[in-house]
Structure 1
Amino acid sequence: MAIKWLPLLLLGLLFLFVGGIGCVGHGEMSVPMSSRAGMGRRLGELHSKNKETSSLSVVGAVADPEIMVAEVNRSINNSITRRQLAGLSTCGSGNPIDDCWRCDPNWQSNRKRLADCSIGFGRNAIGGRDGDYYVVTNSGDDDPVNPKPGTLRYAVIQDKPLWITFDHDMVITLKQELIMNSFKTLDGRGANVHIAKGACITVQYVTNIIIHGIHIHDCVPTGNAMVRSSPSHYGWRTMADGDGVSIFGSSYIWVDHCSLSNCADGLVDAVMGSTAITISNNYFTRHNEVMLLGHSDSYVKDKAMQVTIAFNHFGEGLIQRMPRCRHGFFHVVNNDYTHWEMYAIGGSAEPTINSQGNRYLAPTNPFAKEVTKRVDSAESVWKNWNWRSEGDLFQNGAFFTPSGTGASSSYAKASSLGAKPASMISQITSGAGALSCRSGSLC
């Protein structure tokens, strides 16, 4: 009998051990059981509001990602049609996110409208829409354990939803990772805000985050220090990688209109089961490994990762990973790729990559013309991966190597809608990066 119950006993001991020590690796903070229970309740409530879950039951993952592709294409087509009907007098660009809010000269009084403007897999990220405004008045970060009211760190750790703005231009040099709590918006509109030359942003085991209008650059590894993650908890952080935005085990995330460059590791990395993410309207420059989406080839929970990458400008000084994908589903639509040195889009572990209406301008190097790269995988393996290109514009010898067995019926429906022609990319991505918005005028 003792032998019969031994596996259950070992499993129980393992559960208690993991529950007691929290998460390890990648600079994670240990989370006490009380905090983890509260986190579980918040995610459970969110799950009940969002029924589009995958068979893996990951919060935020939709059952049929091709339907989301169709919705994105429909929103783009609607914006273009409205612009054509209105003529040249409209401020609309055909970019559905921007056309949702940028034509309002009173945007500063209607900031939270932004939360209704996302598209794609991260479209339900509401950030701090349902909370109060919080104005950052102090650019300092003197004490990561006991941050002062008025600082950015004090705002992002609060348990309640907050829409965070900045009362003047500022450069924030963080001593340690900025660990965000759920339901927060960073809204840099109206100020020139830089998070630079220190630690940067960590989105870990949380939900509903919007990061908009921030310059994020020159991020460096930090850690081996105590850092606060909520009003009731702080803990020891091991060394972080130096990502611009690190998304870890999180859902409903939207990174929009940020300018990112020159960080120690990735500019935007999403790993460990993160999903329901939209990365849009950003300007990426001066970096090697731009964007990693997926933890490792063996981490199968990332099969539920779903990411929309739309209207971004991948600019000067970039080398690779725009993005580099694993396992999940990635819709890459209407982006402008003007620079890469090795490749633009890569992957391993059988991701689905749907490239629509992008412009790919190859470098002069005759050995770097290919947009795609299958990482450490033989053709006999990757020939069945579903990588598709539709309506892309290839310049200076650029080419995309497709693979897979063909489109599903739902993808065929999505394709019939079509992303906007790649010839319109300059117009659609003209505002990529952090905008210069001033009160009383169009942003």
Structure 2
Amino acid sequence: MSTKLNLVFLVAFALVIPTLLADIGLFDEVWKKRAEEARQVALDAFTPDPEEVTENFNAQVTKVIEGTNTTRRHLKKYKGKCLATNPIDRCWRCKKNWANNRKQLAKCVLGFGKKTTGGAAGRIYVVTDASDKNVENPRPGTLRHAVIQKEPLWIIFARSMVIRLSKELLVASHKTIDGRGANVHVSFGAGITLQFVQNVIITNLHIHDIVATDGGTIRDSVNHIGFRTTADGDGISVFGSSNIWLDHLSMSNCQDGLIDVIQGSTGITISNSHFTHHNDVMLFGASDSFQGDSIMQVTVAFNHFGKGLVQRMPRCRWGFVHVVNNDYTHWLMYAIGGSSHPTIISQGNRFIAPPNPAAKEVTKRDYASEAEWKKWTWRSEGDLMMNGAFFVQSGNSRGRRPRGKSNMIKAKPGSFVRRLTRFSGTLECVPKKPC
């Protein structure tokens, strides 16, 4: 069959089955091989004892909080000396030489994404060109050219810029996209896709107004151009990928979700981010029928779920999700939901319910009778409930605790959350000064 006929067949295939957006491995041998490799990496990243990870995380928070002043002044914008109010930030933020030692950040991740080092083993790549005109042969100096390289890279930006992606940005393994020191917006175009990859850090980016974009042929590595179906408008899509850390992002107003973690992804930490003005915020787990998401393990920590949010903070299926020390100040329908018996451990969050009397419940369970969902392990420990908020717990209160560790270390209570999340979202970092 000629190349032209091949292309016609693929276009027709995409039109008939648009849901194959990400499952390109069905008809591309390169992606099929990547999918097989990604599944093995995911199994290696999976933690058999997930509550050991939650214990370690909580212990690190306790070290930072104990013995310190917990007072928080009511300031829209903090102008005082550097304060690192949670253990991830304390690892790097208040060091004047952060810009000369950017890779220190790779030692700071906690939670299920704790093995993520991104591009720490590689050289610095400086993005100098905000354009995205040629997705088949990206211009050197562009973000698209940087993320498809074979070797590990720590990607930074020469200046502040707005990057309007013409097609979804396919990021290769072992990359860090580091927006510190610049005001970088990925907006008004396609979003970022992490598909069948491992070991990626994305930090300090504004990601907003992402829209659905047509598919076509897109270069996804230096030696492969593949056909893609329509991208549906996610801010960040994590598909079949492992050891991923998303930190200090400001995200809003994407056509589909802000962050999706699906198709057997695991070893994920989402931290220190600020989410606003969106309906379906986070989706963890592709579908009720995909049991491959049973290995999914995600930490959601120190984030602020702010103005204009509706639901899915997150919505979970199958896996194990640790939701810890986040500030939920806005939702219209519910905050945390799910189906297909996920395990959700909510610790030390602050939930401020909306005025609507019908939306006070933090939780929402779908597609299961009460007799069924009562078996799911959904726990609330130390959460601060305000304005009538309430969390409906289920499952064995001691379910899935590690043997011999009945005295689990608790997260700091929700009353500490305003301090822990004080600097959520992108940071205005200046070289030679604490961030």
Structure-1-length-normalised TM-score:
0.88
Whole-angstrom distance in 2 between the partners of 1:412 and 1:430: 36
Residues 301-332 of structure 1: CA distance to partner in whole angstroms, max 9, x if unpaired? Answer: 10100000000000000000000000000000
2:416 to 402, 420, 424: 424
Asked if 1:169 corresponds to 2:160, the answer is: yes
8 A Cα contact 1:76 1:94, kept in partner: no
Whole-angstrom distance in 2 between the partners of 1:172 and 1:92: 30
- After TM superposition, give the deviation of residue 424 of structure 1 in Å: 1.3
Stretch of structure 1 that moved more, 76-85 or 377-386: 76-85
- After TM superposition, give the deviation of residue 240 of structure 1 in Å: 1.3
Stretch of structure 1 that moved more, 361-370 or 32-41: 32-41
1:379 to 345, 364, 370: 370
Asked if 1:70 corresponds to 2:55, the answer is: yes
Whole-angstrom distance in 1 between the partners of 2:376 and 2:38: 36
**Number of paired residues?**
409
Asked if 1:197 corresponds to 2:197, the answer is: no
Whole-angstrom distance in 1 between the partners of 2:407 and 2:229: 45
8 A Cα contact 1:59 1:251, kept in partner: no
Q: Determine the structure 2 residue equivalent to 1:255.
A: 246
Residues 103-140 of structure 1: CA distance to partner in whole angstroms, max 9, x if unpaired? Answer: 10110011001001000000111110100100000000
Aligned counterparts, 1:213-228, within 5 A: 213-228=204-219
> Which letter maps to 1:202?
T
Stretch of structure 1 that moved more, 247-256 or 373-382: 373-382
Distance 1:225 1:41, change over 3 A: closer
> Which letter maps to 1:71?
N
- After TM superposition, give the deviation of residue 83 of structure 1 in Å: 4.5
Aligned counterparts, 1:231-270, within 5 A: 231-270=222-261
> Which letter maps to 1:397?
G
- After TM superposition, give the deviation of residue 43 of structure 1 in Å: 7.5
Whole-angstrom distance in 2 between the partners of 1:90 and 1:193: 24
> Which letter maps to 1:417?
I
What is the root-mean-square deviation in Å for CA atoms of aligned residues?
2.3
Secondary structure of 1:322's counterpart equals coil
Whole-angstrom distance in 2 between the partners of 1:417 and 1:120: 14
Asked if 1:357 corresponds to 2:374, the answer is: no
Instruction: List gaps (5 residues or longer) in structure 1.
Output: 1-20, 48-56
Whole-angstrom distance in 1 between the partners of 2:123 and 2:409: 39
Q: Determine the structure 1 residue equivalent to 2:144.
A: 153
Q: Determine the structure 2 residue equivalent to 1:58.
A: 43
Secondary structure of 1:226's counterpart equals strand
Whole-angstrom distance in 2 between the partners of 1:411 and 1:215: 42
Q: Determine the structure 1 residue equivalent to 2:283.
A: 292
Whole-angstrom distance in 2 between the partners of 1:303 and 1:418: 25
Displaced runs of 4 or more, over 6 A: none
Percent identity at matched positions?
52
Asked if 1:81 corresponds to 2:66, the answer is: yes
Secondary structure of 1:427's counterpart equals helix
Q: Determine the structure 2 residue equivalent to 1:337.
A: 328
Secondary structure of 2:45's counterpart equals coil
Distance 1:242 1:118, change over 3 A: same
- After TM superposition, give the deviation of residue 84 of structure 1 in Å: 6.3
Distance 1:121 1:169, change over 3 A: same
Whole-angstrom distance in 2 between the partners of 1:379 and 1:222: 40
Aligned counterparts, 1:266-281, within 5 A: 266-281=257-272
Secondary structure of 1:373's counterpart equals strand
- After TM superposition, give the deviation of residue 154 of structure 1 in Å: 0.1
Whole-angstrom distance in 2 between the partners of 1:420 and 1:401: 20
8 A Cα contact 2:254 2:278, kept in partner: yes
Q: Determine the structure 1 residue equivalent to 2:129.
A: 138
Structure-2-length-normalised TM-score:
0.89
Secondary structure of 1:25's counterpart equals helix
8 A Cα contact 1:271 1:295, kept in partner: yes
Distance 1:58 1:416, change over 3 A: closer
> Which letter maps to 1:114?
L
Stretch of structure 1 that moved more, 385-394 or 32-41: 32-41
Whole-angstrom distance in 2 between the partners of 1:186 and 1:393: 34
Distance 1:42 1:285, change over 3 A: closer
8 A Cα contact 1:387 1:402, kept in partner: yes
Whole-angstrom distance in 2 between the partners of 1:185 and 1:355: 29
Secondary structure of 1:423's counterpart equals helix
Whole-angstrom distance in 2 between the partners of 1:415 and 1:234: 53
Aligned counterparts, 1:171-186, within 5 A: 171-186=162-177
8 A Cα contact 2:24 2:32, kept in partner: no
Q: Determine the structure 1 residue equivalent to 2:5.
A: none
Asked if 1:434 corresponds to 2:426, the answer is: yes
Whole-angstrom distance in 2 between the partners of 1:305 and 1:40: 17
Aligned counterparts, 1:85-164, within 5 A: 91-164=82-155
Instruction: List gaps (5 residues or longer) in structure 2.
Output: 1-12, 71-79
8 A Cα contact 1:69 1:414, kept in partner: no
Whole-angstrom distance in 2 between the partners of 1:330 and 1:234: 35
Distance 1:37 1:241, change over 3 A: closer
8 A Cα contact 1:341 1:363, kept in partner: yes
Q: Determine the structure 2 residue equivalent to 1:8.
A: none
Q: Determine the structure 2 residue equivalent to 1:15.
A: none
8 A Cα contact 1:357 1:422, kept in partner: yes
8 A Cα contact 2:304 2:328, kept in partner: yes
Secondary structure of 2:260's counterpart equals strand
Whole-angstrom distance in 2 between the partners of 1:372 and 1:348: 11
Secondary structure of 1:235's counterpart equals strand
- After TM superposition, give the deviation of residue 406 of structure 1 in Å: 2.0
Whole-angstrom distance in 2 between the partners of 1:94 and 1:195: 27
Aligned counterparts, 1:33-48, within 5 A: 33=29, 37=33, 47=41
Secondary structure of 2:244's counterpart equals strand
Residues 344-363 of structure 1: CA distance to partner in whole angstroms, max 9, x if unpaired? Answer: 00000000000000000000
